[in-house]
Amino acid sequence: MILKIITFNAAHGKGMDGKISIVRQANFLKEFHPDIVFMQEVDMYTTRSDRINQIQLFSEKIGLGHASMESNIVLEGGYYGDGIVSRFPIAFSTNYLMPKTDESHEQRGILRNKISFGTTKLNLFSVHLSTYEDERILAVKELLKILEKIDPREIIIIGGDFNVGVTRLGKGRYIYEKKEEFEEYRLLQEKLKKLDNQEDTWFSDLGTGCIDTIFYSNQIQVRKFKTIDVKGLSDHNAVYAEFNI
């Protein structure tokens, strides 16, 4: 079986033109016929997004019948967090809140879904790591503890915005530093394979970098992958991959 995966930081539907529309993002990505989409920066019922349940609307418009979202923070009368939409029924969903080194930092979480088809079981994780390196490393260590408890016969796929190389300097201010090796990735690669995407996925006046990717179990193989230019529909491009399952 070929499984088509996309990971995409939706920036709560906000394009580089300032317009917020989760619908136009879904309509654009629908052309790639994904089976699963990992999403980050999703709103639910917030004022800035017109009180829309973005994960439900995205799911409907992209044509995938199952969706899950968990909140990491309360925002503008609603919720903000990560999501997963799937062609397959979601049997289990939970959210793990990640550690912070300072109470003033944004709360981050890792969303986990479990799906199955036939005898194949998939553990899916949508991640949006911190803009502080120490918190990213702590989160990866927590994630690895979760992964250790999964039956080795089951498949693991992790998609998201890992924010590697990004440091927050203050409100709306960031820098990006490219490195030969990121500790966050090195730790995960002790257990999983990483997609070898290298094109920039994050675009900002404050910096650009390749910070979105996919990790996957050793027992599955990548057929092909690409960075999807979303034409300014977000400040992140999407990453697409096909796997032989």
The pLDDT tens digits for 7-39 are: 999 999 999 999 999 999 999 999 999 999 999
pLDDT of residue 159 exceeding 80: yes
pTM of the model: 0.97
β-strand pairing of 90-97 with 212-216:
unpaired
**pLDDT for res 170:** 77
Topology at the third CATH level for domain 2-244: Deoxyribonuclease I; Chain A (3.60.10)
Domain spans of the chain? 2-244
The pLDDT tens digits for 85-121 are: 999 999 999 999 999 999 999 999 999 999 998 899 9
Q: pLDDT > 90: what percent of the chain?
A: 91
224, 221, 217: which is closest to 242 by C-alpha?
224
The pLDDT tens digits for 164-194 are: 999 988 777 888 898 999 999 999 999 999 9
The mean pLDDT value for 126-150 works out to 98
Backbone torsions φ then ψ of 165, nearest 5 degrees: 85, -5
The span from the CA of 182 to the CA of 187, in Å, is 9
